A = this chain, B = another copy of it.
Amino acid sequence: MTIETTPRKQPRQARSQATVDALIEAVAQVLIEHGYEGATTARVAERAGVSVGSLYQYYPNKESLIAALIERHAGSFVTAIDEALAGAATASLEEGLRAIIRAGLDTHRIAPALHKILVEQVPRVGRMAEVMDTSRSVAKSIERLLRAHRERFPPERDPALAALVIETTLEALTHRAVIERPELLASGRMEKEMYSLLTGYLSSPPVLDVRSPRPRAGRKKKAASR
């Protein structure tokens, strides 16, 4: 009696595909217009120009419908990152970081309103939690980038952890900018800050002990005072 959350059928006919597309497009629109609470199946179906019955023909429940929408967006995001890295992989670490930053910002620039809703209102529960989690995949890509430039970091640096940190911060900054400070996106300032943050982070030596800072901890102070 577990709830199905995967699409019900792989539409093979053109008409079916059109319906599926219309539905996804419709959820997006309805989500933007009415918010998560206001996104009823009836409204989505109506907006898609099909009947509720048809909606359920392709998606077993509301969750799966929204999941599909998210999946598509998340997917395009992951793809963008990967492509960016693929293109820049051979290049320098800096090129790679820039590529990631730009890919992230670009993807979010497409449908900021939708992203806002997705981030702010859609509950990260059940299937949705999984689907919304592009982080792991993106983090993996970043980790790969870092490992490709292993010689640039001291051996104490854990690439997986650094990748997690980078992914998390980039995502958070992108969302905040998209949602609250779009002008920082347009002007390119956010991009600069992100770049500065990442290069600073990666060049900064791993902290040995944060808890008991020795008064004259030479290295740390120096690093910070530069």
Distance of A13 Cα from B142 Cα, bound (Å): 57
Check B161–A172 contact: CB distance below 8 A: no
User: A56 an interface residue at 8 Å Cβ cutoff?
Assistant: no
Check B197–A224 contact: CB distance below 8 A: no
Question: Helix, strand, loop or mixed for chain A's interface?
Answer: helix
User: A75 an interface residue at 8 Å Cβ cutoff?
Assistant: no
Check B181–A199 contact: CB distance below 8 A: no
Per-position binary interface string of chain A over residues 176-204, scored 1 when its CB falls under 8 Å from any chain B CB and 0 otherwise: 10000100100011011101110111111
Q: Which of B121, B200, B210 contacts A201 (CB 8 A)?
A: B200
Which residue of chain B has its CB nearest to the CB of A181? B164
Question: Oligomeric state, in number of copies?
Answer: 4
Shortest C-beta distance, A161 to chain B (Å), equals: 6
Shortest C-beta distance, A100 to chain B (Å), equals: 12
Contacts A94-B213, A200-B201 given; does A123 touch B176 at CB 8 Å: no
User: A124 an interface residue at 8 Å Cβ cutoff?
Assistant: yes
User: A16 an interface residue at 8 Å Cβ cutoff?
Assistant: no
User: A207 an interface residue at 8 Å Cβ cutoff?
Assistant: yes
**When A and B form their complex, which 3 residue pairs have the shortest distance between CB atoms, in order from nearest?**
A200-B204, A172-B172, A200-B200
17 A–B pairs (Cβ distance < 8 Å), ordered by A: A37-B123, A93-B224, A94-B221, A94-B224, A98-B213, A123-B123, A152-B225, A169-B173, A188-B210, A191-B211, A192-B207, A193-B206, A193-B207, A196-B201, A196-B205, A199-B204, A199-B224
